[in-house]
Structure 1
Amino acid sequence: MAPGGLFGTAAVAAVVSLAVHVALNCPIQPVPSRPPPAARYTPNNLLQGLEKLGEGRLIKPEDVYVDAAAGGTLYTATRDGWLQRMHPNNGSWEQWRFVGGTGLLGIAPSADGSMLVCDADKGLLRVEEDRVTILASTVDGAQIRFADAAIETSDGTVYFSDASTRFGFDEWFLGYLESRPTGRLLKYDPRTGKASVALDNLDFANGVALSRDEAFLIVCESAAYRCLKLWLKGDKTFQTETFVGDLPGSPDNIHRAADGSFWIALIQLRSPWLDLVNRWTLTKRIVASFPALLDRIKATAKGAMVAHVSEDGEIIRVLDDSQGKVINFITSVSEFDGDLYFGSLSANFVGKLSLAKVPQVQEAVSS
């Protein structure tokens, strides 16, 4: 057989082998991704000036809560199953409560003094001084697969996100690639002790926050580059609309500031390689079928970004570390007493940045 014929036969065999491997091993059923955001901001790298709190003792602190009533005591949850806190008077850290597992994500205060914690694997938890209670692990008879972030209203109702009904925390990137809107906003009623679905068909449901008057709730859709507003009061009760869209990143956690505005962590899931993979469902299937390739593609996304958004959904300013030199993959940002605090699933510290170092108005958007 001529060399050309051998080459052709080998190429066909390779293609057939690849097709068989993908058919047998692809864990996703992808649909086309939403168009990437058109918004572009001139990098300012202001996040490179942050201070690192607890460096070396915190394992990927995803969310941060600062307790104003306790003088600024800072809480976070880490991958070793601990809720940890930093005392404001001397900056010392304490392993406060052991919950266990590697999936502790969003944390939020409850009016009774306990802490609400989203355990991606177990569901919605209440953590008290002497015990941990699972408030909700199922909804409509099905297991909650990816509890992500929670917020409590003044009447004790808890709204919390379930990022995906198909993939858990350890497989979040597969859910991102698949692009199917299987996320949900769930509602826990303390009077009945049961959870129900408040919104479904969300594109990777993530952070949740309440407006100052609790007239509406915001839930982030990471894969849609937007945050939705769900009205809880008034003529539009139970109606939804876009709060802020076309964000320059995938919104993760969102926290309200004292003046009623919001800070949103924006995950940077863009790179030439990632954009290429997301262009076609076939490339998604191929990448998802090879775990080593999946990890390499995911690692091409670099950078950290947060956005400050008004009560009306207008972007006020954007801060970033464009190449992730000091902090990468920011997943939460909270404002307290003139400072910003950052959580990250790629860091071993909580970041802190004085707002005195941050311009009050964002520079113009560049095309």
Structure 2
Amino acid sequence: MRRVCVQGLEKLGEGALDAPEDVYVDAAAGGALYTATSDGWMQRMSPGNGSWERWRFIGGTGLLGIAPSADGAMLVCDADKGLLRVGEDGVVTLLASEVEGTRIRFAEAAIEASDGTVYFSDASTRFGLDRWFHDFVESRATGRLLRYDPRSGQTSVVLDSLGFANGVALPRDEAFVVVCESSRCTRVWLKGEKAGKAETFIDNLPGCPDNIRLGSDGHFWIALAQIRSAWLDFVTRWSLTKRVVASFPTLLEWLQATAKGAMVAQVSQDGRIIRVLDDSEGKAINLVTSVTEFNGDIFLGSRATNFIGKLSLAQGAHEQGAVPS
């Protein structure tokens, strides 16, 4: 595995984008970029002149993961409302706000399979977006991977007891679905002899997995939040310290402020790290939440910035030496 340092990051839409969590690139439209921002808008960048437009208004402050639908609509995870569909005509439809009699409290990320089934994550059943760090510190593993069936309109639980369920992705053959947790990525087999079985896809990553997206070469790109620190490791080691810190907002804010830096990893379909791109001090971009690869570039989303980062994989990084895999 190679580790490289981020160089030459281009800041797209700087100042016009409010906490762009996720990025989708429409290859059929020549590389048009889409993102959802915390001011309630879906925004789009023209591939021709790089100009941004407020494309569709959804409302709310909890817009997170986005994904395309085969019918031309966009799927949007609203942490507060649930799974949304935004049509080409701008009509917003709520697809799922509860599952099996319980509220979807923290819709995070989604992906649509070729048969129209939507797999999406519910990060926590205890806390919403405004208190996500409480869930991370408490580590009670209440997240879920959910399935929305467009034919019946029903939502079901695929896997529960997940540690802050986050990004969701499918490989090209859709043999399994991957869901990211705070300390690992888990896959659930959808086909073959293992169908229905859950197992660890990859763990021991150099950061906390956030969003995951399939790359053009069949490998996955994973955004790794740099939340781990010596203090946080100490706090989360025992139930008592977790409860004490979770009871004091000031301590939580201080711990959260210790997180800095940005990192993404390219991971093979068999769960092997291929390379890591790193901005350990957060000089170019901080707290990357998503990474999308297109045409030799990667596009980085972050709720801590007012821009989307663009980095050339060929020219924008230099090797820092091997890292044990």
- Give TM class, smaller chain: over 0.9
Letter in 2 for 1:339: D
Letter in 1 for 2:215: A
**What per-residue deviation string (whole Å, max 9, x for no partner) do you get for residues 263-309 of structure 1?**
00000112232223223322222222221221111101111100001
**What per-residue deviation string (whole Å, max 9, x for no partner) do you get for residues 312-355 of structure 1?**
11100001110112211100000001100000010110000001
**CA positional deviation for 1:364:** 2.4
Structure 2 counterpart of 1:326, from 284, 297, 314: 284
The answer to whether structure 1 residue 113 and structure 2 residue 72 are counterparts is yes
Aligned to 1:84: 43
Aligned to 1:122: 81
**CA positional deviation for 1:244:** 1.2
Distance 1:215 1:160 in 2: 16
Aligned to 1:310: 268
For these two proteins, the number of residue pairs brought into alignment is 324
Higher mean displacement: 60-69 or 352-361: 352-361
Distance 2:318 2:12 in 1: 25
Inter-CA distance 43–283: structure 2 relative to 1 (3 Å threshold) = farther
Aligned to 1:276: 234
**CA positional deviation for 1:194:** 1.1
Distance 2:228 2:137 in 1: 12
Letter in 1 for 2:231: W
**CA positional deviation for 1:359:** 6.6
Distance 1:366 1:199 in 2: 31
Q: Report the aligned-residue RMSD.
A: 1.7
Aligned to 1:191: 151
Q: The residue matched to 2:59 in structure 1 has which SS?
A: coil
Distance 2:201 2:233 in 1: 26
% identical aligned pairs: 70
The answer to whether structure 1 residue 204 and structure 2 residue 164 are counterparts is yes
**CA positional deviation for 1:228:** 1.1
The answer to whether structure 1 residue 148 and structure 2 residue 127 are counterparts is no
The answer to whether structure 1 residue 221 and structure 2 residue 181 are counterparts is yes
Distance 2:295 2:3 in 1: 26
Inter-CA distance 339–155: structure 2 relative to 1 (3 Å threshold) = same
Distance 2:282 2:90 in 1: 39
Contact 2:18/2:38 (CA < 8 Å) preserved in 1? yes
Structure 2 counterpart of 1:181, from 141, 158, 164: 141
Larger radius of gyration between Structure 1 and Structure 2: 1
Contact 1:318/1:362 (CA < 8 Å) preserved in 2? no
Structure 2 counterpart of 1:364, from 312, 319, 322: 322
**TM-score (normalizing by structure 1):** 0.85
**What per-residue deviation string (whole Å, max 9, x for no partner) do you get for residues 85-138 of structure 1?**
100000000000010111000000000000000000100000012310000000
Q: The residue matched to 1:165 in structure 2 has which SS?
A: coil
Aligned to 1:97: 56
Distance 1:363 1:235 in 2: 40
For structure 1, the 5+ residue unaligned runs are 1-40
Letter in 2 for 1:63: D
The answer to whether structure 1 residue 252 and structure 2 residue 210 are counterparts is yes
**TM-score (normalizing by structure 2):** 0.96
Q: Higher strand proportion, which one?
A: 2
**What per-residue deviation string (whole Å, max 9, x for no partner) do you get for residues 187-208 of structure 1?**
0001110100011111111100
**CA positional deviation for 1:45:** 2.9
**What per-residue deviation string (whole Å, max 9, x for no partner) do you get for residues 48-77 of structure 1?**
421100000111100000010111000001
Inter-CA distance 42–317: structure 2 relative to 1 (3 Å threshold) = closer
Distance 2:266 2:319 in 1: 10
**CA positional deviation for 1:233:** 1.1
Contact 2:287/2:303 (CA < 8 Å) preserved in 1? yes
Contact 1:317/1:362 (CA < 8 Å) preserved in 2? no
Inter-CA distance 349–288: structure 2 relative to 1 (3 Å threshold) = same
Q: The residue matched to 1:156 in structure 2 has which SS?
A: coil
For structure 2, the 5+ residue unaligned runs are none
Distance 1:230 1:360 in 2: 35
**CA positional deviation for 1:226:** 1.2
Letter in 2 for 1:54: G
Aligned to 1:162: 122
Letter in 2 for 1:81: G
